[in-house]
Structure 1
Amino acid sequence: MPTHPSHALPILFYQDVRNALTWLEETYGFNPIVVFEDDAGAIVHAEMMLGSAHIMLGPAGMVEWAVSPQKQHGWNTQQTYIYVDDVDAHHVGVEMMRGVTATVPEKQFYGDKTYRTTDIEGHRWIFAERIKTASKEEMAKATGLTVR
């Protein structure tokens, strides 16, 4: 377990936590750091890391509002944004490992290079690498928006 956890820590709900745990490890490269199982062997909580990114997994239905996008026709209310050291290499590994559909990595106006993908139950992911730190002025110029 990290000694200094992230200040924001997503908890993702899955219909099949065990399958998701394996898939996230094999496909995206996350490493399980702790897994809690009940007496029947069902996973009731798990935590994983990829570099310094820390996520939690839980079973959909553990409380009435905890659902997987799989049960919501793929609808999501958030995306999980994960920094990796080499986004191009991560992208190649993801597509080769599992044939996952992903967008092509592209440089963004805010200084990151990113690609988007969806996991086995419909959670949306963005993997990114910081290429440069863009100033507010640079971002305003690139977008035509007011950036404060």
Structure 2
Amino acid sequence: MASTIIPTLRYRNARAMIAWLCDTFGFERHAVHEGDDGTIVHAELVRGHGMIMLGDARDDAFGALQAPPTGKGPVSQSPYLVVEDIEHLYEAAQAAGATIVMDLRDQSYGSREFSCQDPEGQLWNFGTYNPWKTGE
């Protein structure tokens, strides 16, 4: 049986973050579902063959399992996106006010990478290293 991994994130203001992620990182809206109160109950954003799911942070059973990023302590998750347009993405992240936590640099294993935090503190990693391609 085939498996697909889709990172899930919760944000204090999912609507604003959907716009930011699309404008800055090049995601596209696949689906956005609102609750009766106007909150984002569930959204799916795609970039290439990858997808993330996100919604507004809320006090429910799933929300109890996830703590919003505080900037303190270890990060338990952070998406890594394989990209070809790394320089453009790095410049876009800087221009959009992302906090660059690892500057754009060449790695010893042949990748060019950087890491940043979005406006709500979620950690994102970008690089040219693609583990699915062999012999590179």
Same fold by TM-score, threshold 0.5 exceeded?
yes
TM-score by length of 2: 0.80
- SS of corresponding position for 2:44: strand
Does the aligned pair in 2 maintain the 1:113–1:131 contact within 8 Å? Answer: no
**Quick check: which one's helix share is greater?**
1
Does the aligned pair in 2 maintain the 1:111–1:134 contact within 8 Å? Answer: no
Find the counterpart in structure 1 of residue 105 from structure 2: 106
Find the counterpart in structure 2 of residue 129 from structure 1: 128
Give the fraction of aligned pairs with identical amino acids, expressed as a percent. Answer: 32
Find the counterpart in structure 1 of residue 93 from structure 2: 94
Change (3 A) 1:81 1:112: same
TM-score by length of 1: 0.74
The answer to whether the aligner puts 1:78 opposite 2:60 as a matched pair is: no
Find the counterpart in structure 1 of residue 66 from structure 2: 66
Tell me the CA shift for residue 12 of structure 1: 0.8
> Which of the two has higher C-alpha Rg?
1
Runs of 5+ unmatched residues, structure 2: none
For residues 33-68 of structure 1, give each alpha carbon's deviation from its aligned partner in whole angstroms, at most 9, with x where no partner exists. Answer: 100111122110001012222101022233222332
- SS of corresponding position for 1:121: coil
Change (3 A) 1:73 1:59: farther
Change (3 A) 1:37 1:131: closer
- SS of corresponding position for 1:130: coil
Q: 1:43 aligns with which of 40, 44, 52?
A: 40
Give RMSD over aligned pairs.
2.6
The aligned amino acid for 1:112 is S
